[in-house]
Amino acid sequence: METYRNRYSLDVTEDDYGKLITVAGWVEDIRNIGSIAFIILRDRKGTLQVTALKKNEPEIFKKIVAISRESVISVQGLCKKSDKARNGYEIIPQEFEVLSTAETPLPLGVVDKVESELDTRLDNRFIDLRKQEIQAIFKIRTAIIASVHDYLRSENFVEVHTPNIIATSSEGGTDVFKLKYFEKEAFLAQSPQLYKQILMATGLDKVYEIAWYFRAEEHNTRRHLNESTAVDVEMAFIKNEEEIMKILENLAYNMWKKASECKEELEILCKEISLPNLPFKRVKYDDVIKKLNDEGSKIAWGEDLGNEDERLLGKIMEDEGHTFYFITKYPIEIKPFYTMPEEEKYSRSFDLECGGIEFASGSQRIHNVELLKKRIKACDLNPKDFESYLKGFRYGMPPHGGFGFGIERFLMELLNITNIRECILFPRDRTRLTP
């Protein structure tokens, strides 16, 4: 049997009726009612029905009713119109081949009505990903990442790829994974931040990267991962952070819009997506603190927003009619060393939030090497540890800025998913290192 001539279930058309075709996939379900057996066969695009008649092909019938669920089979047969079949057609098998037999019992059901625990699903992710609704999440993810490339390239950004193994912590602090690099100590990059800035000195004045973040935070919440992905953007020759925010809000809008066009996947997930209004609301940090205090929060000026404060702010902003909003002008003391100060207390920084979840953070950066060294010291870091980074600022560095945009958090908010682990294929968190 020529199994490589497989037809996907949703690619079969009326032109195939009355013809021999070959289909292959996973056995989702089997029903044996004595003289007739039905197999629901699943492939990447959907399902189809194989109908075996005992009197016509007794040997094939015997094999079909013996096969276990989730086994992989190939069937060559007559494609026949059928108003009773789910796709309007059925396959009457003439040849049947078992490509791989699934062991029983299954560690996880694919079409079972009883939902399994998340840990059980993640432990058996290869089966979990066979579910139509889980695949829909990642098809939407593919679509929104495609829109990232389309939009940023239309704005003349160049895609780059920077190292994940680095000699110095990207952002300072202790939330880094250390590793032995031959005779030296190295780190997994918290972000491409330092390399993005170095590239601003090259003439590649607009760059972006679909990046990996590695952060050794000991969180174990529904919103945190220790390995995650992000869109990282940096651009030079800017006047202030507002230019960066305009790129970011247009990027987020385009991603949201692209997701809204995934009609089939949204129908599977029973989700509806409404487009946000542009421009997004800007709210200064001082005003945010006042709004939160007015609603009973005890947060003090100079503190970063915690999860509860973010959720409360999301509710406040929603009541004011804003789904997306920027928080701007944070205190400089709670921002990384590369953030451009404004006056004595503030910074030219921003976070983009939606519904109480922060999924992007950025700023105008410091481009003056002396000020940069001063801020490194103010953050209790040693400029000597950043020598290769600082070198890029000594020989002509234009004003620049950028942002990091968490893909999983965006997808989580977009599809109203309760746990961020659902938004990445094989999550890494405080306790999970496999599969």
Please identify which of the residues 222, 223, 428, 430 carries the catalytic annotation.
223
Report mean pLDDT in 10-residue bins for the chain, 435 residues: 59 90 94 93 92 91 93 94 91 94 94 88 96 96 98 98 88 81 94 96 97 91 93 98 98 98 96 95 98 96 95 96 97 96 96 94 98 95 92 97 97 95 96 94
Choice among 97, 217, 227, 242 that is catalytic: 217
CA dist., res. 7 & res. 254, Å (int): 33
* Annotated catalytic residue, options 265, 310, 358, 413: 358
97 classed as catalytic? no
Catalytic residue from among 9, 74, 228, 361: 361
Would residue 224 show up in a list of annotated catalytic residues for this protein? yes
Beta strands 349-354; 357-364: pairing state: antiparallel
On the CB side of 388, CA atoms within 13 Å amount to 8
For residues 63 and 46, the answer to whether their CB atoms sit within 8 Å is: no
User: Is 363 a catalytic site residue?
Assistant: no
**Phi/psi of residue 359, nearest 5 degrees:** -130, 0
Domain with CATH 2.40.50.140 in the chain: 3-100
Q: Which is it for strands 46-53 and 36-43: parallel, antiparallel or unpaired?
A: antiparallel
Confirm whether 358 is a catalytic residue: yes
> Are 435 and 427 contacting, i.e. CB atoms less than 8 angstroms apart?
no
pLDDT of res. 174: 64
pLDDT at 12 (0 to 100): 87
Q: Which CATH class is domain 3-100?
A: mainly beta
- Token pair for residue 377? 């010291």
Per-residue model confidence (pLDDT) at position 394? 96
Q: Identify the CA nearest to 402 among candidates 239, 267, 208.
A: 208
CATH topology of domain 125-423: BirA Bifunctional Protein; domain 2 (3.30.930)
| Region(s) of the chain under CATH 3.30.930.10 | 125-423
Active-site position among 130, 322, 400, 409: 409
Annotated catalytic residue 59 = no
215 is catalytic: yes
Name the residue among 417, 429, 391, 431 with its Cα closest to residue 140.
Answer: 417
Residue 4: the pLDDT is 42
How far is Cα 122 from Cα 131, in angstroms, rounded to an integer?
Answer: 13
Residue 389: what are its φ and ψ, rounded to 5°? -70, -50
Which structure tokens are listed for 172?
């300072």
Is 409 catalytic? The answer is yes
Give residue 115's pLDDT.
83
- Are the beta carbons of 352 and 375 closer than 8 angstroms? no
Length of the chain: 435
For 432, counting Cβ atoms within 10 Å of its Cβ (0-12 exposed, 13-18 middle, 19+ buried), the class is middle
In the chain the first and final C-alpha atoms are separated, in Å, by 34
- Give pLDDT, residue 113: 77
- What per-residue confidence (pLDDT) applies to 223? 87
Residue 130: what pLDDT? 96
DSSP, collapsed to helix, strand or coil, labels residue 243 as helix
**Residue at 213: amino acid letter:** Y
